[in-house]
């Protein structure tokens, strides 16, 4: 059995693993995809003391750092269930999709988050055929074409600014009556000649010709009119969903599905801690996920030295 078992291998999980292993305790990491969202990121310019790096480079560095310690890395493993210890100080079980069960005295949940989808007709059908979620990954595919960005929060407006430099035209569609992005981003967006902004717009359908996207329809929420935009690409930027479905009923989740943690990263289950984008901690960023991961590992260690094994 492990002393600390980390579920998830993104920035939070990697930080947890390094901090736990440095205490000389038996540490394991099980991750569906080591590196997490960082693998889908291009430029990173807010990781303090590193003025510029790229996602895949940072993901490799995360794994290398963990590998410098005696950590059992189990990549390509999906956790399916958490079974709390039967008695205080007992072992917590994690059941994997492979059928195997891992046991540990403490668990750190750091399963991160994923892009939210619109759930409108055509979206799933045309995913990767014009419907995209990662402008950094797929933006260049739409060079010289017309695209829409759905969502006027920071990620939507960032995506629109980013894409405007590559594509012919960007239509930004926001559901609310105003954009929700930081003022500095909105100023930048408004300065761009090839961006149109639609507010109070609810996307209702993705259109295609069977092979690829040809347009979208949205409802003008003020007039109720249905409008159609002809385009080749749609970037959906309407928020993140925590990867916590498998934890329902096992640990307390917020109404948004985020794992509820206290200031020490403790969840509702003794010996189970959590960190990063999967939790209620605000602001989903690499540096925050890493700090929270470190904190969860130190809390797990603190729990171990105060708990008599059952
Ligand atoms: P994640 O990175 O999501 O990692 C979660 C880990 O858990 C992965 O290893 C995943 O495979 C694993 N996992 C999930 N479910 C399971 C399961 N059931 N069983 C086992 N493993 C599981 N942040 C910045 O600070 N600066 C940026 O410039 C920046 N740009 C970004 C650009 C893009 C395109 C994206 C998508 C994100 C960006 N972010 C940026 C946000 C940043 O990537 C996240 O805040 C950070 O990765 C969160 O780390 P995490 O470890 O909590 O989760």
Question: How many Å lie between the centroid of ligand 1 and the Cα of residue 175?
Answer: 26
Residues 222, 259 within the same domain: no
CATH of the domain at 187: 3.50.50.60
Show the domain range for 150.
Answer: 131-236
The answer to whether residue 125 sits within a structural domain is no
Task: Calculate mean pLDDT across residues 14-19.
Answer: 98
Q: Which of 33, 41, 279, 294 to mutate to test the pocket of ligand 1 (most atoms within 8 A of CB)?
A: 41
17, part of any domain = yes
* Inside any domain, residue 124: no
Q: Is the ipTM of this complex over 0.95?
A: yes
Which letter does DSSP use for residue 270 in this model?
A: T
Q: CA 150, 154, 158 angle in degrees (round to 5)?
A: 75
- pLDDT reported for residue 144: 97
Identify the bridge partners of residue 197 per DSSP, sorted by sequence position.
172
| Tokens of residue 8, six digits | 């998830």
How many independent structural domains does the chain possess? 2
pLDDT tens track for 193-240: 999 999 999 999 999 999 999 999 999 999 999 999 999 999 999 988
pLDDT tens digits along 133-156: 888 768 888 999 999 999 999 989
Distance in angstroms (rounded) separating the CA atoms of residues 173 and 191? 17
Torsion of CA 11, 12, 17, 23, to 10 degrees: 120
pLDDT above 70 for 42 = no
Q: For the whole prediction, is pTM greater than 0.90?
A: no
Per-residue pLDDT at 251: 98
Where is the binding site for NAD(+), in residues?
A: 146-160
**Residue 75 located in a structural domain:** yes
């Amino acid at each position: 059995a492990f002393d600390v078992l980390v579920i998830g291998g993104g920035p939070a999980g990697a930080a947890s693993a390094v901090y736990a292993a440095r205490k000389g305790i038996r540490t394991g990491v099980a991750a569906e995809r080591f590196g997490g969202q960082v693998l889908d990121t291009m430029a990173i310019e807010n990781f303090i003391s590193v003025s510029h790096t790229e996602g895949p480079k940072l993901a490799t560095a995360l794994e290398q750092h963990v590998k410098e310690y005696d950590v059992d890395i189990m990549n390509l493993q999906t956790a399916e269930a958490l079974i709390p210890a039967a008695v205080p100080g007992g072992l917590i079980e994690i059941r994997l999709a492979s059928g195997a069960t891992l046991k540990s005295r403490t668990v750190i949940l750091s399963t991160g988050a994923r892009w939210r989808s619109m759930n409108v007709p055509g979206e799933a059908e045309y995913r990767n055929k014009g419907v995209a979620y990662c402008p950094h990954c797929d933006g260049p595919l739409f060079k010289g074409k017309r695209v829409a960005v759905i969502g006027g929060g920071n990620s939507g407006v960032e995506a629109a600014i980013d894409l405007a430099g590559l594509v012919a035209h960007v239509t930004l569609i926001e559901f609310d009556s105003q954009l929700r992005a930081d003022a500095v981003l909105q100023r930048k967006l408004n300065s761009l000649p090839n961006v149109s902004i639609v507010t109070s717009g609810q996307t209702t359908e993705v259109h295609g010709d069977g092979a690829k996207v040809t347009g979208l329809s949205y409802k003008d929420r003020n007039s109720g009119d249905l409008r159609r935009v002809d385009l080749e690409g749609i970037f959906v930027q309407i928020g993140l969903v925590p990867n916590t479905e498998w934890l329902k009923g096992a640990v307390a989740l917020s109404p948004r599905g985020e794992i509820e943690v206290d200031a020490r990263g403790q969840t509702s289950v003794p010996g189970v801690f959590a960190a990063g984008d999967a939790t209620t901690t605000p602001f989903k960023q690499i540096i925050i996920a890493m700090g929270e991961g470190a904190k969860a590992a130190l809390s797990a260690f603190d729990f171990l030295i105060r708990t008599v094994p059952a």
